[in-house]
Amino acid sequence: MTPEEMWERAARVWKLESREIERLTRTVDRAAFLSPADAPHGALGAVQSGDVAVLVSKGGGTAELVSLLPPLKAKGAFLVAVTERNDSALARAADLTMRVKVEQKVNDLDMLATASTLAVIAVFDAVAICLVGLAGYTRERFSVIHPGGAVGERAGRP
């Protein structure tokens, strides 16, 4: 593949992915989007009752994630499934399913979760921004938890 062909392929990927991100306002369930933004906390290693576990699997049948379902349920975690398939094992076990589906893949083999991965990232970027707003974060609060690097500099830290 020549450099020009690689550039053209990259341009096609970005164009398709931008269309898929644009479709999120029509394909992501608004109620499901808002629910996990209300109170996610905890960590998978120390899950306790009331914690939220967000499990992401394009097909909803990834063995490693499905095997986590019984212990998470036993600990009383609220399970959020992020998947394309509402009929999957992950979705059926979840307390809330957030369906994130793309219409077109960007790879010729249809084996890599490219546009769908970007769509999930875009959805959770939006969740993160909502959480920042809900928590009332300010530049000063960010400077306390992230004093270094570019964030610290923008927050007024040296």
Domains of the chain: 1-28+106-158 (no CATH), 29-99 (3.40.50.10490)
In which residue are the tokens 């500099």 written?
153
Residue 57 backbone dihedrals phi, psi, to 5 degrees: -150, 120
Note the pTM of the prediction, 2 decimals: 0.70
Q: Report residue 70's pLDDT band, with 50, 70 and 90 as the boundaries.
A: very high
Per-residue pLDDT of 120-143, as tens digits, reads 888 888 888 877 777 888 888 877
Res 42: pLDDT: 43
Per-residue pLDDT of 5-59, as tens digits, reads 778 887 887 888 888 888 888 888 777 776 554 444 444 456 778 888 889 998 9
Per-residue pLDDT of 92-119, as tens digits, reads 999 999 998 888 777 777 777 778 888 8
Burial class (CB in 10 A: 0-12, 13-18, 19+), 140: exposed
Tokens of 2: 């020549």
